[in-house]
Amino acid sequence: MLDDALSLPDEEREALVEVLITSLQWDSPEDVERAWSEEIVRRLERLGRGETVAVDWDEAKRRIRARHGFE
């Protein structure tokens, strides 16, 4: 889906961005903070159980770029 969106002409990508942004339901700052706190706890628990491995930011960027063909 991302590749399809990125292959659109600039005008169509801009229109898609507008539609996507306006479709978002914005939560209150408190809701966002609570959601992030819960996500941090979930991630730390997974890390503690060995279900995931932490990588540094440079490695994360490399993986993201490689996955999406930006290398």
Domain boundaries, the chain: 2-67
pLDDT of residue 27: 80
Distances (CA, A) of 43 to 4, 14, 39, 51: 30, 33, 6, 9
Q: What is the pLDDT of residue 60?
A: 95
Query: pTM here?
Result: 0.51
- Cα dihedral across residues 54, 58, 62, 64: positive or negative: positive
In angstroms, the Cα distances linking 21 to 7, 40, 59 are: 19, 25, 29
DSSP 3-state of 37: helix
Q: Is residue 71's pLDDT more than 80?
A: no
Q: What is the pLDDT of residue 48?
A: 96
The model's pLDDT over 6-57, given as tens digits with 9 standing for 90+, comes to 999 999 999 999 899 888 877 888 988 999 999 999 999 999 999 999 999 9
